[in-house]
Amino acid sequence: MKAIQIMQAGRVRLADVPKPVPEAGEVLVKIKYVGFCGSDLNTYLGKNPMVHLPVIPGHETGAVIESVGAHTPAHLKPGMACTLNPYTACGNCPSCRNGRPNACRYNQTLGVQRDGAMCEYLAVPWEKVIADEHISYRDFCLVEPMSVGFHAVSRAALTDSDTVMVIGCGMVGVGAVVRAALRGAKTIAVDVDGDKLALAKRLGAAHVINSQTEDVHEQLQSLTANGSGPDVVIEAVGAPVTYRMAVNEVAFTGRVVCIGYAKEETAFDTKWFVQKELDIRGSRNAMPADFRAVMEYLKRGNCPVDKLITGIYPPSEAQIALENWKAHPAKVFRILISFDVDS
């Protein structure tokens, strides 16, 4: 079967690899679409320390069940559209014992710590298959990245009386915007790109701030009660400047939720940690409930899915797709690879 491999920084190839055979308790899925995410781009750029090259990237999937192995539940049947939960959990580490397997100490995400889904077929444990015949193969690719944003909102314990600022309006960030708006919170979206901010507003942000052309602190003075700052800040960029912005701008006794990985050490004025008595929380991956919540949202039919998909490429043009993303990083939401020759 065909598979996309990132061989080294800046080099991708389309390879022939063995087609998997499902074992007992496994499901064989035929991949229709796979999304490139930020971790894949960093792998291509040689900036992902969690990856050992060569690797098959990809963990945002839209697929169809091809066949099922023995001892697979009857509700999973060939022909069903599905996506995959791409994470693993050891079951024994503190995270798993505490009921938070999304943050398993020994997690291996598809396409990061192990070969991923950017291939024609994949065999996975049946528990990782999330099927729903009311969502298209293409749209299923959006479920995992949006669920990461949904999970961050859950980590923030957001309520309808909160004001939340979401920094970064890529796919994960807009997922947080959607979830915050669904919970009735007053949502402020921050980004450097006007198109992304316009989409964030369409998805539920009450206000948007372009941090490249506007003073974020000054805008927050007028947008929050008594100029006190947002109750919650969700950092979805992963840069020192946005991490510091989150801590500096959040209200006293506020909550800061961090999704993005900063690529370098970040210095803070730590007096704010203590004086504001902040809750600073990490948010990693997503839980099955987050996947289900995104799927219910997509099935409502009012998500502008076409605006979230920047481009669709055949497997032979994977390197072109990554080069285009590298050249225009601020303009990309999601790039999909289509293994469906009939699409």
CB-based burial label for 245 (10 Å; 0-12, 13-18, 19+):
buried
Determine the Cα–Cα distance for residues 244 and 248; give it in Å rounded to an integer.
6
For the record, the structure tokens of 86 come out as: 């791409």
CB-based burial label for 135 (10 Å; 0-12, 13-18, 19+):
buried
Q: What number is the average pLDDT over the span 18-26?
A: 96
Helices in the chain by DSSP H: which ranges?
A: 38-45, 94-97, 137-140, 143-155, 171-182, 194-202, 216-223, 240-249, 271-275, 288-299, 305-308, 318-327
Rounded to the nearest 10 degrees, the angle between the axes of helix 38-45 and helix 318-327 is 90
Query: pLDDT (tens digit, 9 = 90+) per residue, 193-206?
Result: 999 999 999 999 99
For the record, the structure tokens of 318 come out as: 């994977």
Query: pLDDT (tens digit, 9 = 90+) per residue, 295-327?
Result: 999 999 999 999 999 999 999 999 999 999 999
Nearest to 87 by CA among 100, 75, 76, 102: 102
Determine the Cα–Cα distance for residues 200 and 14; give it in Å rounded to an integer.
35
Query: pLDDT (tens digit, 9 = 90+) per residue, 176-228?
Result: 999 999 999 999 999 999 999 999 999 999 999 999 999 999 999 999 999 99
* Average model confidence (pLDDT) across the chain: 96
Query: pLDDT (tens digit, 9 = 90+) per residue, 51-76?
Result: 999 999 999 999 999 999 999 999 99
Q: What number is the average pLDDT over the span 279-304?
A: 97
Give yes or no for residue 331 having a pLDDT over 90.
no
The pLDDT confidence band at residue 341, using thresholds 50, 70 and 90, is low
pTM: 0.95
Residue 176 and residue 166 in contact, taking contact as beta carbons nearer than 8 Å: yes
The pLDDT confidence band at residue 131, using thresholds 50, 70 and 90, is very high
For the record, the structure tokens of 281 come out as: 């929380």
Nearest to 230 by CA among 212, 217, 241: 217
| One-letter amino acid for residue 225 of the chain | A
- The 8-class DSSP code of residue 210 comes to E
Give yes or no for residue 343 having a pLDDT over 50.
no
For the record, the structure tokens of 335 come out as: 């790039």
The pLDDT confidence band at residue 342, using thresholds 50, 70 and 90, is very low
Determine the Cα–Cα distance for residues 79 and 138; give it in Å rounded to an integer.
15
Query: pLDDT (tens digit, 9 = 90+) per residue, 33-57?
Result: 999 999 999 999 998 888 999 999 9
Q: What number is the average pLDDT over the span 124-138?
A: 97
Kindly report the three-state secondary structure assignment for every residue of 259-312.
CCCCCCCCCCCCHHHHHCCCEEEECCCCCHHHHHHHHHHHHCCCCCHHHHEEEE
Q: How far apart are the first and last CA of the chain?
A: 18
Give yes or no for residue 249 having a pLDDT over 60.
yes
Determine the Cα–Cα distance for residues 203 and 193; give it in Å rounded to an integer.
16
